[in-house]
Structure 1
Amino acid sequence: MIITDTHTHLYSEQFDRDRDEVVKRALDLNIKRFFIPAIDSNYTSSMLELEKNYPDNMFLMMGLHPTSVKDNYKDELLHVENMLAIRKFYAVGEIGIDLYWDTSTLNIQQEAFKYQIRLAKKYKLPIVIHCREAFDEIFDVLEGEFDDDLFGIFHCFTGTFEQAKRAISFNMKLGIGGVVTFKNGGIDQFLNQIELKHIVLETDSPYLAPKPFRGKRNESSYIIKVVEKLALLYNLSPEEIADITTENSKTIFGV
């Protein structure tokens, strides 16, 4: 059994004091594959260092997070473009629209999102979407960019059953993490109506820890709680959940 965490910010400052221990705890639980989303150029060197230390386990993405779309966003997009040109990445992400923190940047967030989708298509890479209070805006962009080269993951999916089906219609898998264990999370009410072939697992660590760790720093080893919850929802063994979702991640990332 191999478990894949398709979204973890292991380079975050929150892991600076015990990063190796955090990784070891995960590896000891057969969590062997970690996909690392980008935020902005400030984190590129620490992402590369993480990959250098764990070359068999860490798979990097490149992208500009929507909350980092500021006045200098064109410089940041140039950094993304330059990095994609010089080395291998496994996705363009995380990218998207976030209207929770700042609605005033919607126009440039949309521009950055579209630009990076086109970069992903150029390099035949999946996209990994960040969506917060922006389902309609995200879907509008996907509608305009939709073709056979568009595919990826709708990271940290927290929408409705109808939104889940719409995301899947754009060749997106649903990234399911700690929210599925929350009493008021909502997605546990319909998730088993979604075929498991559309699901990948994630933690989004250090954020969104599952029960019983909710409110604490999240880490990849806690993905076990997500596996256990999905095993209950789908009436399958944890091993089957791990195997199927890992195969789904291979389909997306090509590794």
Structure 2
Amino acid sequence: ILWTLVGTFINDNTRCKFIFYSGNDYQGPGGLSEYIEPRSIPDFLGGTAKTRVVDGALVPKALYMSEEEMEKDREHFPLCEDSIYHSVSIARGQVHEVVINNEDVGSVICWDFDVMKQAVIFSVLRTRLPLPPKNEPSKAVHSINPLASDSDHRTVFEKGWKEGTDYFLVEDAITCHDGESIQGSHATEHKGTYVLQWKCVDSQASSFAKNVTELIDSITITHHKAKVMYFHEVLTSQDL
């Protein structure tokens, strides 16, 4: 009944992506096996995958991974090959940016990310002039952190650019803490370059490094790095 009421307010293209089952409907024609391979369906739902999780019950704590196991697993197998998510580590003073060149006014930029460690500041920005793809940086690109030389941690914003003139903040910056999951979207109103930016929060920004060794340690030690797993996509205006 609830879906009947809510469904009338949802676009047809989106509404047709939902399927609801009741009782044992998922086992008949048009059921789960037509969309998912039986070996990937739990046995209590009619598939062949064996699981120790009982239908409707809580996941046994014996199956939980410890924090150390999860950290080790991420280091060796950060994401499966067919995953749509990306994983990145960001040290204090560094940024990670996703550059989106938009030619479709009215398209919607969507993002979904989890903060796995430390805290980050997330912003969505738009530049006044179009920028080249991230893998083709302009000669004036500067890193916020002078010791961060890899392209994943370089900003596309040129030194001396001013907010409101050379670039614009199109979504308010938010601080996201360890363990938080963030989803959001932005409807574009202009053609040009949009940038999703994650910046590691420097909790010790007010303290001055006593020597060069302390400064390098604050940048390179893994303990001080934030970790983010993210996904983004752009929905065209025709799909909305």
TM-score normalised to structure 2 length: 0.23
Structure having the larger proportion of residues in strand: 2
Structure having the larger proportion of residues in helix: 1
Greater Rg, structure 1 or structure 2?
A: 2
TM-score normalised to structure 1 length: 0.22
